[in-house]
Amino acid sequence: MRIVGLTGGIASGKSTVSNLFKSNDIPVVDADVVAREALKKGSGGWKKVVEAFGEEILLDNGEVNRPRLGQIVFADPDKRQFLNRLLAPYISSGIFWEVVKLWSKGYKVIVLDVPLLFEAKIDKFTKPIIVVWVDPETQIQRLLARDNSSEEDGRNRVNAQMPLDVKRSKADIVIDNTGSLDDLNEQFQNVLVRVTGPLTWYEFWQSRQGVSIILASLTSGVVLCMKVFNNNSL
């Protein structure tokens, strides 16, 4: 199976690219969705976070007040690292099980959309790695327009991540999303061709089909050996 890494900066356009993959029938595991599940009221992550940050980060219905927690952690690197450490085991295991589900359905190519792919060292499980890049001004403009947040809050969020130029230097494929959606679409068509090309042998043996062939060969090998052994001992 080919596990493609998709990353970038906040508001650089990862979800927009994810949607293009989905509309081409390539499944996407979205780490932000997994992280949201990990913070749902009553979950293990929720208990840890409430214990650490106190009940003042909760809404009246007991769910985490995400904008409030965001303001706290994006303004303070120590608190953010602390939150990351608390949630990391839940997020990693959530992503792992999503991948297992897609593997068992027989998908040969899947995409992991993980904003912190490099920071969380998940990049070592993905190949190729796609970085969606934008120039810093476009990034902040799109972020503020989308989230309706203050400029200070937006800049805190951008600064909480590895600089996009560093991510770009670690990429196998760079999508420059500074232009229009049509420009993005055009680049995406080339990326799609690369990502859906024939699997390497290594990727093939990791797919459900590859593992089935290995298991079937092992089983018939064992049956054959037992037959030969039984015939010889008669």
Ligand X SMILES: Nc1ncnc2c1ncn2[C@@H]1O[C@H](COP(=O)(O)OP(=O)(O)OP(=O)(O)O)[C@@H](O)[C@H]1O
Ligand Y SMILES: CC(C)(COP(=O)(O)OP(=O)(O)OC[C@H]1O[C@@H](n2cnc3c(N)ncnc32)[C@H](O)[C@@H]1O)[C@@H](O)C(=O)NCCC(=O)NCCS
Q: Which residues bind ligand X (CB under 6 A)?
A: 8, 10-16, 32, 115, 142, 146, 177, 180-181, 184
Q: Which position among 1, 58, 131, 160 is part of the footprint of ligand Y (CB under 6 A)?
A: 160
DSSP the chain: -EEEEEEESTTSSHHHHHHHHHHTT--EEEHHHHHHHHTSTTSHHHHHHHHHH-GGGB-TTSSB-HHHHHHHHHT-HHHHHHHHHHHHHHHHHHHHHHHHHHHHTT-SEEEEE-TTTTTTTGGGG-SSEEEEE--HHHHHHHHHHHH---HHHHHHHHHTS--HHHHHHT-SEEEE-SS-HHHHHHHHHHHHHHHTSPPPHHHHHHSHHHHHHHHHHHHHHHHHHHHHHHHHH-
Q: Which does 13 bind (CB under 5 to 8 A by kind): ligand X, ligand Y, none?
A: ligand X
Q: Tell me: does residue 134 bind ligand Y (CB under 6 A).
A: no
Q: Tell me: does residue 116 bind ligand Y (CB under 6 A).
A: yes
Q: Which does 177 bind (CB under 5 to 8 A by kind): ligand Y, ligand X, none?
A: ligand X
Q: How far is the CB of 18 from ligand Y (least distance, A)?
A: 11
Q: Which does 146 bind (CB under 5 to 8 A by kind): ligand Y, ligand X, none?
A: ligand X
Q: Which position among 1, 29, 48, 70 is part of the footprint of ligand Y (CB under 6 A)?
A: 70
Binding map of ligand Y across residues 23-62, x = CB under 6 A, - = no contact? --------xx--x---x-----------------------
Contacts of 87 (CB under 8 A, 6+ apart): 35, 38, 39, 45, 48, 49
Q: Tell me: does residue 94 bind ligand Y (CB under 6 A).
A: no
| Closer by beta carbon to ligand Y, 31 or else 195 | 31
Contacts of 21 (CB under 8 A, 6+ apart): 6, 27, 28, 111, 192
Q: Which does 31 bind (CB under 5 to 8 A by kind): ligand Y, ligand X, none?
A: ligand Y
Residues 185-224 binding ligand Y (CB under 6 A) are none
d(CA 76, CA 228): 69
Q: Which does 140 bind (CB under 5 to 8 A by kind): ligand Y, ligand X, none?
A: none
Q: Tell me: does residue 3 bind ligand Y (CB under 6 A).
A: no
Contacting positions for ligand Y (CB under 6 A): 10, 31-32, 35, 39, 66-67, 69-70, 73, 80, 83-84, 87, 91, 114-116, 157, 160-161
